[in-house]
Amino acid sequence: MIKITFPDGSVREYESGVTGLQIAESISNRLAKEVLACSVNGETVELNRPITEDAELKLFKWEDEEGKHAFWHTSAHLMAEALQELWPGTQFGIGPAIENGFYYDVMPPEGVSLSDSDFPKIEKKMQELVARGESLVRQDISKKDALTFFGEHGQTYKNELIAELEDGHITTYTQGAYTDLCRGPHLMNTSPIKAVKVMSISSAYWRGDEKRPQMTRVYGISFPKKKLLDEYLQLLEEAKRRDHRKIGKEMELFMFSDLVGKGLPMWLPKGTALRLRLEDFLKNIQKRYGYQQVMTPHIGSKNLYVTSGHYAKYGKDSFQPIHTPEEGEEYMLKPMNCPHHCAIFAWKPRSYKDLPLRIAEFGTVYRYEQSGELHGLTRVRGFTQDDAHIFCAPDQVKGEFLRVMDIIMIIFRALKFDKFEAQISLRDKVNREKYIGSEENWEKAERAIIEACEEKGLPAHIEYGEAAFYGPKLDFMVKDALGRRWQLGTIQVDYNLPERFQLEYTGSDNQKHRPVMIHRAPFGSMERFVAVLIEHTAGHFPLWLTPDQVAILPVSDKFNDYAFNVKKQLEDANVRAFVDDRSEKVGRKIRDNEMKHIPYLLIVGENEANSATVSVRKQGEGDQGVLSVAEFAKKIADEIAEMTRNY
């Protein structure tokens, strides 16, 4: 008999060799029908995998990320099987589950070029295969046999992957006539896949290397019910409506120019005004929490990033070093702000009385992203981080960490990010080679984050292997209005950079001590944060933040002078307004400015000019009646005061 411990702490005994499905059946028939995969001692596996020792068990349904992952991973194999039947000789690269669905990188046989016209054919074939109810059979295979098998089937990309694997740790999964190199996990069979949709195709270099062959990446998604697919497709339509690239263009917030360079956003006047208000908002909070602003260069000596470890870790993802006229002198576009801030700490002797030292910067950094990965403001090559670094004594770490958590909560409340999850990102349990620093320092840093979350009463799940190379972190995963998850806000505890830069302060014992460094960025990057904010609000920003609060619409050219008089009165009352003095009908002006997400429209004509009033329309609510200009300005001020009184 073996003991199975469940997430609630309860323990049951089962015979050795019991499977996750059998355990689910022992709990309830309904659970057994809904469960898709399980984890045994932290490893997600198929439901028919025998459990032969005492274990902690979690059962995953569709609602769980792990359940979706197994479902979509199996669907990727299903799509590959369909492609193999439709176009024999297709070569396969990799086919993972992703956040929404799955993809497979494939090389169609010579003479075949996949296009969206093939999508219905692929979907029909996938549905035919599902009807067969094929089981997925996992098999351990030797490296030699794997190379032979995939070689005989002409799968050169698979053989390249196999060549890098360690013998004794290679597995395949087979359903029907299709066999794939894979670690899993999967569903036990394809029957639960009730609805499939091939979404798009694109080009992708093999293993992301521009010097390697270009493959066809086929994206798909699947669901256990057709209703869920229909809801997802509706969600996609809404996402298109909210696309920050579309809204950003309509609202004239930002632009890109191939002449300037791919992935280098330029902020237009209205976007700049919005961004600066966000910066001022955070600067005011930071001032209350004792931060000092600094500014550092856009470039730095290559040696700076060699010292910090960033060059070894991110050198290939950075722009190439800049050679100056002086022989042997190399600089780099700044990929990170933290090495510069370490230099600021080190520029003069520090005492324990100086700690904690909190320095903040809206610092622009540069990292090379492949052209195919660039996407609006969310993936760019130059971006500004709302960076800050806290240098503190070891006994101050938890308190400072808690204060940073308070700042992030203020921002989330102010911008209506009400749904979020906290994730504690720790080192990989096995592979420690990719991290720098001592075991002792890592343990202290990880413990500080866990204790801070416990003290704050903040539920947080732990993800192993997601830590930064220099320290563990707490990430905040925000759900937007469409339920999509975005990583916004991060706090990292770092014992290692102070060590690498030999930072020190004089303690109360008159001895030298090493400070601890806390990295934090509540917004993350201004570009990505604004993109998420646009899509979360569909461009309807909070009134205190929006670039244009009021559009004044004269009903004809005769009332332009009065409209500009109203504009001046509003500006004197700190209300942001503009006059739409186009020679268009007022109905057209209303529609156009509502499309630009202007919160308030003021219609002015003969009656309003004679009575020194404005006719008020509110975005999404229509006519609000007639007010004097002073009354309307007070209405705006009161509304903003109510929004911001807690911030």
Q: What is the model's pLDDT at position 297?
A: 96
Q: Do residues 71 and 34 both lie within one domain?
A: no
Active site residue 385: yes
Q: What is the model's pLDDT at position 374?
A: 87
CATH of the domain at 31: 3.10.20.30
Q: Choose the weakest-confidence range: 7-11, 265-269, 311-315, 467-471.
A: 311-315
342 in a structural domain: no
Residue 404 has pLDDT above 90, yes or no: yes
Exposed/middle/buried for residue 321 (C-beta within 10 Å: 0-12, 13-18, 19+): middle
Q: Do residues 632 and 499 both lie within one domain?
A: no
Q: Nearest 5 degrees, angle CA 392-CA 398-CA 402? A: 110
Q: How confident is the model at residue 217 (pLDDT cuts 50, 70, 90)?
A: very high
For residue range 625-639, list pLDDT tens digits in order. 999 999 999 999 999
Q: What is the mean pLDDT of residues 525-554?
A: 94
Q: Do residues 378 and 485 both lie within one domain?
A: yes
Active site residue 389: yes
CA atoms within 13 A on the CB side of 561: 4
For residue range 55-72, list pLDDT tens digits in order. 999 999 999 999 999 999
Number of domains in the chain: 4
Distance CA 160, CA 180 (A): 14
Q: Do residues 175 and 27 both lie within one domain?
A: no
Distance CA 278, CA 537 (A): 15
Q: Which domain holds residue 636?
A: 550-644
CATH of the domain at 493: 3.30.930.10
**Annotated catalytic residue within 69, 217, 341, 473:** 473
533 in a structural domain: yes
Active site residue 432: no
Q: What is the mean pLDDT of residues 307-317?
A: 78
Q: How confident is the model at residue 126 (pLDDT cuts 50, 70, 90)?
A: very high
Q: Do residues 533 and 555 both lie within one domain?
A: no
CATH of the domain at 607: 3.40.50.800
Where would I find the H helices in 505-581? Answer: 526-537, 560-572
Distance CA 166, CA 391 (A): 43
Q: What is the model's pLDDT at position 201?
A: 94
**Annotated catalytic residue within 38, 182, 338, 392:** 338
**Annotated catalytic residue within 387, 475, 494, 548:** 387
**Annotated catalytic residue within 389, 520, 567, 597:** 389
Distance CA 505, CA 199 (A): 57
Q: What is the model's pLDDT at position 214?
A: 93
CA 69 to chain centre: 17
Q: What are the backbone angles phi and psi of residue 71, rounded to the nearest 5°?
A: -65, -50
- Of 210 and 647, the one with more pLDDT: 210
Q: What is the model's pLDDT at position 516?
A: 92
320 in a structural domain: no
Q: Is the separation of the CB atoms in 364 and 382 below 8 Å?
A: yes
Q: Do residues 592 and 570 both lie within one domain?
A: yes
For residue range 337-351, list pLDDT tens digits in order. 999 999 999 999 999
Q: How confident is the model at residue 644 (pLDDT cuts 50, 70, 90)?
A: confident
Q: What is the model's pLDDT at position 330?
A: 87
Residue 368 has pLDDT above 90, yes or no: no
Shortest CA distance to 389 belongs to which of 265, 529, 494?
Answer: 494
Rounded to two decimals, the pTM is 0.81
Q: Do residues 48 and 173 both lie within one domain?
A: no
Residue 362 has pLDDT above 90, yes or no: yes
Per cent of the chain over pLDDT 90 is 74
Active site residue 293: no
Q: What is the model's pLDDT at position 269?
A: 95
Q: How confident is the model at residue 442 (pLDDT cuts 50, 70, 90)?
A: confident
Q: What is the model's pLDDT at position 613?
A: 95
Q: Do residues 148 and 229 both lie within one domain?
A: yes
Q: What is the model's pLDDT at position 253?
A: 95
**Annotated catalytic residue within 138, 519, 567, 589:** 519
519 in a structural domain: yes
Residue 555 has pLDDT above 90, yes or no: yes
Q: Do residues 51 and 124 both lie within one domain?
A: no
CA dihedral 46, 51, 55, 57 (to 10 degrees): 30
309 in a structural domain: no
Q: What is the model's pLDDT at position 456?
A: 84
Distance CA 231, CA 226 (A): 9
Domain boundary, last residue among 537, 560, 593:
537
CATH of the domain at 152: 3.30.980.10
Residue 189 has pLDDT above 90, yes or no: yes
Domain boundary, last residue among 35, 61, 87:
61
Q: Do residues 483 and 388 both lie within one domain?
A: yes
Residue 436 has pLDDT above 80, yes or no: no
Q: What is the model's pLDDT at position 439?
A: 82
Q: How confident is the model at residue 593 (pLDDT cuts 50, 70, 90)?
A: very high
328 in a structural domain: no
Neighbours of 306 (CB within 10 A): 16
Active site residue 487: no
Q: Do residues 130 and 214 both lie within one domain?
A: yes
Per cent of the chain over pLDDT 70 is 100
Domain boundary, last residue among 240, 268, 286:
240
Q: Do residues 206 and 99 both lie within one domain?
A: yes
154 in a structural domain: yes
294 in a structural domain: no
Active site residue 519: yes
List own/partner pairs for 311-320 with CB under 8 A and 24 or more apart: 313/469, 314/367, 317/367, 317/368, 317/369, 318/366, 318/367, 318/368, 319/366, 319/367, 319/368
**Annotated catalytic residue within 245, 367, 447, 514:** 367
Q: Choose the weakest-confidence range: 56-65, 193-202, 469-478.
A: 469-478
Active site residue 367: yes
